[in-house]
Amino acid sequence: MQGVILPGNRTVQLKEFEVPEPGHGQVLIKTKASSICGSDIRAIYRAHVGTGPEAYRPGTIAGHEPCGQIERVGPGCRKFKAGDRVVIYHINGCGTCAECRHGYMIGCDSEHREAYGWQRNGGHAPYLLAEEIVCVGLPDGLSYIDGALCACGTATGYEALTRMKVGGEDRLLVTGLGPVGLAAAQLGKAKGAAPIIGIDTSPARRNLAEHLGLCDHTFAADDLALRNILDVTGGRGCEVGIDCSGAPSARLLVLQAARRWGRCAFVGEGGTVSFDVSELLIHKQVTLFGSWVTSLKHLEDLVEHLDRWGVHPEVTCTDRLPLAEAARAYELADRGQSGKVCIVFE
Ligand SMILES: [Zn+2]
Ligand SMILES: [Zn+2]
C-alpha cells in the first residue's frame, strides 16, 4: 500500500508500505478518513520542529486523525470485531502511569508512549494498525469524517469546553477560527452558549464561521476587537473564552474580554503571552485553563453526545481529497484560509 510521509520543507511523499498484520491486542483498520491537524503543519510539514511528544519519527506514515472500519482483529482482542466502525484516540500511552490511568494518554511521558502519525504509522494510508485499547466505537449516526475530526481537533475543543463547564448561561468567545476554533464554536452552541463570538485575522475564516451558523458575531482581530466584544455583551464581556490561535494578542484578548468570574482556556499551541496578572486574572477572579487534547473517556463522551445532538463536525470540512492528492491537501491546510482538510478513501 501507499502511505504518506512528511520529509519536512513543505514536502509530501508517497511511499510503499506492507499492509501490516495485527498482533496480540491489535486491530487492522481500513482507513476511511484521515484529516490534517494544525499541529501536522506546525510541527512536521513546514519543518520537523517538534520535540518530545511532537517529535516526528522520519519515515512514519503521517495522519493523527484517523477513522475507519475494522478489517481484522489480532488474537486477544476483547471488544471490537471485523466490521466495527472506530475512531482512534491517537496516542498509545504506557498504560501504567498516572496520566494513562486517568485516560489522558496524551500526557504520558513514558519512553513507551507513541502517537499515531508521529512516532508510529498514522492514518494517511489505506490501512492502519492500532491497539484495541485506543479504539472508540463510532456511532452509526456519525460519518467517518465526523469521526476523524474527533480524533484530535474537535476533541481538543470539547475537552476545554467541558473543563470550563460551558452551558446555557454563558456567552462564548472564540479566538482563532481554524478547525479547532470552529469546533469550539459548534460545540459551544450545542451546549447552549449564546451568543458565540468569533475572532480571526482572516475574512475567509470569519465568513465560513458565519456561513455555517457557528458564530453569531465575528470580528477582525484588530484594535477594535475588544470594543466590539463589549458592545455585543452589554459591556460585561464573556463568561467563557477560548483561544485556539496561539497568538499572544488573541490570548490577551480572551483575558481582557472575560467577564468577572469568567473561565478561559488556552488550547492554541506555541508562543508566549504577557499580561497584567492582577488586573486581568486576580482582580477579575478569572479561572484560566491550559488544556491539551482530551482523554479516552471524553473522546467516548464526545462521539456519544454528537450523535445524540445530531451535530456533525464534518460541516467544517471544506476540502476532501484522495490520498494521491495528499500534497495538495497539505498545501491547502498550510494556507490557513479554509476549514478542515481531510484525506478520504474510496
Ligand atoms: Zn503512561
Ligand atoms: Zn492534532
Residue 338 has pLDDT above 90, yes or no: no
What does each C-alpha distance from 186 to 21, 55, 136, 306, 341 come to in angstroms? 38, 30, 21, 10, 17
Considering every ligand atom shown, identify the ligand nearest to the alpha carbon of residue 39 and give its number: 2
- Distance in Å, CA 65 to ligand 2 centroid: 7
Q: What is the pLDDT of residues 138-176, one digit of tens each?
A: 999 999 999 999 999 999 999 999 999 999 999 999 999
Q: Which residues surround ligand 1, an ion (CB under 5 A)?
A: 93-94, 97, 100, 108, 110
- Distance in Å, CA 261 to ligand 1 centroid: 34
Considering every ligand atom shown, identify the ligand nearest to the alpha carbon of residue 36 and give its number: 2
Q: What is the pLDDT of residues 217-262, one digit of tens each?
A: 999 999 999 999 999 999 999 999 999 999 999 999 999 999 999 9
- Distance in Å, CA 265 to ligand 1 centroid: 24
pTM of the model: 0.97
Considering every ligand atom shown, identify the ligand nearest to the alpha carbon of residue 100 and give its number: 1
| Grid cell listed for 249 | 494578542
Residue 44 has pLDDT above 90, yes or no: yes
Burial class (CB in 10 A: 0-12, 13-18, 19+), 122: buried
Close Cβ partners of 33 (under 8 Å, ≥ 6 residues apart) = 66, 67, 68, 123, 143, 144, 145, 147, 148, 342, 343, 344, 345
The span from the CA of 198 to the CA of 210, in Å, is 9
Considering every ligand atom shown, identify the ligand nearest to the alpha carbon of residue 107 and give its number: 1
- Amino acid 65 reads E
- Distance in Å, CA 89 to ligand 2 centroid: 11
Q: What is the pLDDT of residues 283-325, one digit of tens each?
A: 999 999 999 999 999 999 999 999 999 999 999 999 999 999 9
Residue 346 has pLDDT above 90, yes or no: no
| Grid cell listed for 247 | 497568538
**What per-residue string of b and e applies to 298-321 under the rule 16 or more CB within 10 Å gives b?**
bbbbbbebbbeeebbbbbbbbbbb
Considering every ligand atom shown, identify the ligand nearest to the alpha carbon of residue 296 and give its number: 1
- Distance in Å, CA 269 to ligand 2 centroid: 10
- Distance in Å, CA 261 to ligand 2 centroid: 30
Considering every ligand atom shown, identify the ligand nearest to the alpha carbon of residue 267 and give its number: 2
Q: What is the mean pLDDT of residues 76-94?
A: 98
Considering every ligand atom shown, identify the ligand nearest to the alpha carbon of residue 102 and give its number: 1
Considering every ligand atom shown, identify the ligand nearest to the alpha carbon of residue 151 and give its number: 2
- Distance in Å, CA 133 to ligand 1 centroid: 13
Q: What is the pLDDT of residues 201-222, one digit of tens each?
A: 999 999 999 999 999 999 999 9
The span from the CA of 36 to the CA of 153, in Å, is 9
